[in-house]
Amino acid sequence: MKKRFLTWTLILFAIYGVLIGLYLFQWAEFGVPEAYQGTSADPATFMTAKELAQSQDYSRYKDFLYFVSLPLEWIIYLGVMIFGISTVFKQSSERVSRFSIVHIPVYVLLLSTLTWMLTFPVDYISRRLSLSYGISTQTFSDWMKDELISFWVGYIIMALLITVLYTLMRKFEKRWWLYASILMMPFLVFMMYLQPVVIDPLYNEFSDLKDKNLEAKILSLADEANVPAERVYEVNMSEETNSMNAYVNGIGSNLRIVLWDTTLNRLQEKEVLFIMAHEIGHYVMHHLYWNLFGAVAAAFIGLYLAYHLMKYSVRRWGDKLNIKSVSDIAGLPVLFIILSLLSFAATPVELAISRNAEMDADVYAIEMTQNPEAAVGAFQELTVNGLSEVNPPALVKYLRYGHPTMMERIHLLEQYQQIE
């Protein structure tokens, strides 16, 4: 079984990699349709020949790396089960302490460490790719610091979730998925409250916006939209990246309006105001809460399906994989595979909803600022700065893009200008 797993994994992964490579580098159509050529959405009108070439190359390599790495964790989890590593991890966690509450966090730590080590080369290649095209500016030591912070933050959250989940599995054999879904709501609300003031500062330094004139204008927009913000935060990102970003996140007293310093350095004031109006639009249209509702609904459906698929998997392969029951922690990799596959299957729907919300926020920002020229300039600069592909291949768009393509966004602005 082990030899067959290795053989078929290598064969299928090689075929998959070749097909993805052919799609991205040979079959997929890049560039702008004829109807958009010469318009503001045509990168040839605002990018140099070198930037155009870099944009296409960077997009292809980045997308190839994403798709090739997509099944890696599934393969790792399968290997952990087939080679008996999961059983070893379970036995090791039981030897650490006689208290059962310690066993699950130790098991999760062992599995997380192995997964992190095996996927680290892909993360490193992604970093090198970003550096070579001038997107990332982060030193290796700072990058490693962020990697380790992400690992430990992710581990603490995962260990807590898995401990609660498996406790529910043991106590409520037929209803654990329901109780876990119910608990997701307060957990996600708590994380939304915690994120801006506890987790985000672990990675970057936040300070009050230095440009007080710009801050006053942003807060005026926020006040017009009834956003309860008293200040605007500036985050130092220029030491890590040349990319630009801005966002409104958090809830209650922890709500924050945040601007990356790269955005401040590269956009004109009127363009920054459009970007902030877009982010304010998300708040006004309650997209944050709709995201919360969607996450809870997805958890309900996903855990219900996982409940049935996990039962079937244990019944079908439990003896071969040494999984005694659904609540046996040794079967966690199987649960991870199931949840990951369900998440992947839901991705096109989730991204389509996200793209629609982003387009609504664009419309809100245009109506609020009444400056489509600034909006076009902001999107063009974002495209140049991030070497973005304005019209990505269909597979990339529907499996990776949570925002409309730049071509679609700029075209919307042009239509608004024509109406005006």
Cα angle 313, 319, 324 (rounded to 5 degrees) comes to 80
Beta bridge partners of 232: 257
- With beta carbons less than 8 A apart as the criterion, state whether 163 and 101 touch: yes
Report the run of H or E that residue 207 belongs to, with start and end: strand 206-208
Helix axes 72-82, 100-132, angle to 10 degrees: 140
Buried (b) or exposed (e) across 255-290, using 16+ Cβ within 10 A?
A: bbbbbbbbbbebbeeebbbbbbbbbbbbbbbebbee
- Counting every residue written for the chain, the total comes to 420
Rounded Cα distance, 179 and 181, in Å: 5
Residues marked active site are found at 279, 362
The binding site for Zn(2+) comprises: 278, 282, 358
The binding site comprises: 278, 282, 358
Cα angle 138, 142, 144 (rounded to 5 degrees) comes to 110
Distances (CA, A) of 374 to 363, 368, 396: 13, 12, 28
| Distance from the Cα of residue 4 to its chain's centroid | 34
**The pair of three-digit structure tokens given for residue 226, joined into one six-digit string:** 């009834």
